Chains A and B, each alone.
Chain A
Amino acid sequence: MRTMQTAKNIIEVNNLCKTFKIHKRATGFKGALKDIFHPTYEWKKAVDNVSFSIHEGEMVGFIGPNGAGKSTTIKMLSGILYPDSGDMQVAGYVPYKQRKEYVANIGVVFGQKSQISWDLSPLDSYEVIRHIYRIPPKQYKENLARYTELLDMGSFIRQPVRQLSLGQRMRADIAAALLHSPKIVFFDEPTIGIDVVGKDKIRKFIRTLNQTDNITMIFTTHDMQDIVKTCERLIIIDDGQKLYDGSLENVKKGYGSSRIIEAEFESLPISLDLSHAVVSDADNSGLKKRIAFSTDEVSVNEMMSALMNTHNIKDVSIREPEIDAIIRDIYEGRIVMN
């Protein structure tokens, strides 16, 4: 056993890089023929010089658009993929070098790949897992009872997995990844394709576990509500590079002064000549406008009177920008975080 390098950081990643070779297939019969003799390849940098560290017990949201390199990073962190360059140390191990010993300390949930056997019931699959991880009988019994209750699995734990709904299967999968009491759990899109109620059950469970068991968790998702409801810290990556690493609060705070007024006007034409605001259509009628501005430049009061002095307004609402909109702006490069 190695001793942990630092007491605080359980995950340490420095300048991680991974490049994939992509076979570019030519189209058509002629192209296919040519392809056999002269295949063309393209190199794609999936992860490009990424560094971060994570404390023990932290819960970190890992987000980025499709193809940003999130899953590749998770797969390197969990010892499945070999990095091209860079260092990483997780729970005192170098994942890809000490895979067999290392993976006993972690749990991984893939939303898109079930780990439990299609033909067996979750309970039978858990039995196999018990052997693989050599979980002591007492710990196994306790964990099983606890997860069955928390994830509400009692009704389907003895049914073959192929007969389960996606939400049930996902919960069964989450329990499977946790039976051996891992120190770190990676969730790779655990809520993908699951309904609102199911998502809520999963989020609550993850939150509870993080708080009571002090398990370090990394969570990738495309649903910002997953992050808002579970994580305090956020890492955003795109094109293989880290765009943001900090608290979720900070992301929102950066926009704390911005407001959006949505106004529905009585009649056309609408001529808005506002120097400190961005005006856009809120629907197709042309009567509903969205006016975004910062309260540092114009007060809500001033803005409202500017609107009301020139037009008749039927309905109005004032909002803070949603986290989704902020993230979209970050992905699309409209906002540069630092």
Chain B
Amino acid sequence: MTRYLSFAGIKFRSKMAYRFDYVLGILNTLLSFVVYWSIYKALYNGASEVDGVTFSMVTTSFLISLGLSAAFHKNEMFLQDKIKQGTIANELLKPVNFKLRMLFEDMGEGAFHVVFNFLPTVIIACFFAPIQAPSGARDVLLCLVSVILGYVVLWEISFIVQSWSFTLFSVWGLITIKNVMVNILAGAYIPMWFMPDWLRSAIRFTPFDSIYFTPVQLYLGELGGKEIVFHFARQLFWITALWAVGEYFWRSGIKKLVIQGG
């Protein structure tokens, strides 16, 4: 395991080279946050709460889910490019679990974006938007753990779609559709509270609300003792289930792999 952690570490450090990139990243995230914040400000129109949801809850929810979805953005053409150019051969020659290595390298990149993109955005946003303070140190810690688990869920969905490049060769269109789906269903565009009941109860059976909404709820202290356990269990369930699905596509993929280009 320490070996895989070092892959994450190497990736984190190599990202440090692109400093200009993250300054622009902060601006980008702030801009989309301000847009959504303004829309909801107009919708609330001075009301203290709507359906029991306060304006600062909505603002905080947006900051967390939009900020994280920006920070977790990554190159999803990775596997397709490797297969197209045949460089997947080089990856298969390494005595490591390819999927785990890819996950940890992406986690290194994600952690970098959280530290140098997400956190500065949060700090800046605190100056002008009504961001709710966490209810306690315990909630922050639980939120952090669920962010990591949520990332793994998000990553696995991406990996499954990427692994279809073994048979389809081009998955760009599917990735785009998947990203829109994830952002809507995971509540990055519309907070989960305002979704129609039927949609919300449908989403409850999908992995999508364990990505951003579980961390949001934990941060806001919305969940009680039993519910916390249940939400973590659900995240772990999706991680295991999606891993198995990804493993299936990956294994059947490399079995019929054709190395392109000589």
**A79 engages B255 (CB within 8 Å):** no
Known: A20-B258, A80-B259, A113-B90. A128 touches B10 (CB 8 A): yes
Interface residues of A in 14-35 (CB under 8 A from B): 20
Interface 0/1 of B209-251, CB less than 8 Å to A: 0000000000000000000000000000000000000000000
Interface residues of A in 100-159 (CB under 8 A from B): 100-104, 106, 108, 110, 112-113, 115, 120, 127-128, 131-134
Give the residue of B14, B94, B262 whose beta carbon is less than 8 angstroms from that of A112. Answer: B262
By beta carbon, the residue of chain A nearest B261 is: A112
The reply to whether the CB of A82 lies closer than 8 angstroms to some CB of chain B is: yes
Task: Tell me which residues across on chain B come within 8 A of A81, comparing CB atoms.
Answer: 257, 259
Interface residues of B in 100-127 (CB under 8 A from A): 101
Q: Inter-chain contact count A-B, CB under 8 Å?
A: 60
By beta carbon, the residue of chain B nearest A192 is: B262
How many A residues are at the interface, by size bracket?
20 to 34
CB distance from A122 to the nearest CB of B (A): 15
The reply to whether the CB of A71 lies closer than 8 angstroms to some CB of chain B is: yes
Task: Tell me which residues across on chain B come within 8 A of A79, comparing CB atoms.
Answer: 92-93
Give the residue of A82, A131, A133 whose beta carbon is less than 8 angstroms from that of B10. Answer: A131
Task: Tell me which residues across on chain A come within 8 A of B28, comparing CB atoms.
Answer: none
The reply to whether the CB of B54 lies closer than 8 angstroms to some CB of chain A is: no
Task: Tell me which residues across on chain B come within 8 A of A82, comparing CB atoms.
Answer: 254-257
**A133 engages B95 (CB within 8 Å):** yes
Interface 0/1 of A49-78, CB less than 8 Å to B: 000000000000000000000010001001
Task: Tell me which residues across on chain B come within 8 A of A120, comparing CB atoms.
Answer: 14
Task: Tell me which residues across on chain A come within 8 A of B259, comparing CB atoms.
Answer: 71, 75, 80-81
The reply to whether the CB of A99 lies closer than 8 angstroms to some CB of chain B is: yes
**B90 engages A99 (CB within 8 Å):** no
Give the residue of A20, A80, A101, A127 whose beta carbon is less than 8 angstroms from that of B93. Answer: A80
The reply to whether the CB of B208 lies closer than 8 angstroms to some CB of chain A is: no
**A71 engages B262 (CB within 8 Å):** yes
In the assembled complex, the Cα of A116 lies from the Cα of B7 at a distance in Å of 15
The reply to whether the CB of B96 lies closer than 8 angstroms to some CB of chain A is: yes
In the assembled complex, the Cα of A78 lies from the Cα of B89 at a distance in Å of 10
Known: A20-B258, A82-B255. A115 touches B95 (CB 8 A): no
By beta carbon, the residue of chain B nearest A124 is: B14
**B10 engages A104 (CB within 8 Å):** no
In the assembled complex, the Cα of A78 lies from the Cα of B10 at a distance in Å of 27
**B89 engages A75 (CB within 8 Å):** yes
Task: Tell me which residues across on chain B come within 8 A of A104, comparing CB atoms.
Answer: 95
Task: Tell me which residues across on chain A come within 8 A of B86, comparing CB atoms.
Answer: 113
Interface residues of B in 14-44 (CB under 8 A from A): 14
CB distance from B8 to the nearest CB of A (A): 11
**A132 engages B10 (CB within 8 Å):** no
In the assembled complex, the Cα of A278 lies from the Cα of B59 at a distance in Å of 91
Task: Tell me which residues across on chain B come within 8 A of A113, comparing CB atoms.
Answer: 86-87, 89-90, 261-262
Task: Tell me which residues across on chain A come within 8 A of B97, comparing CB atoms.
Answer: 100
By beta carbon, the residue of chain A nearest B89 is: A80
In the assembled complex, the Cα of A20 lies from the Cα of B89 at a distance in Å of 17
Task: Tell me which residues across on chain A come within 8 A of B254, comparing CB atoms.
Answer: 82
Known: A75-B259, A113-B87. A132 touches B96 (CB 8 A): yes
In the complex, 12 of the A-B residue pairs with CB atoms within 8 angstroms, ordered by the A residue number, are: A71-B259, A71-B262, A100-B96, A103-B95, A108-B93, A110-B90, A113-B87, A127-B10, A132-B3, A132-B94, A132-B101, A133-B95
Known: A82-B257, A113-B89, A132-B3. 5 other contacts (CB 8 A): A80-B92, A103-B93, A112-B261, A113-B90, A115-B90
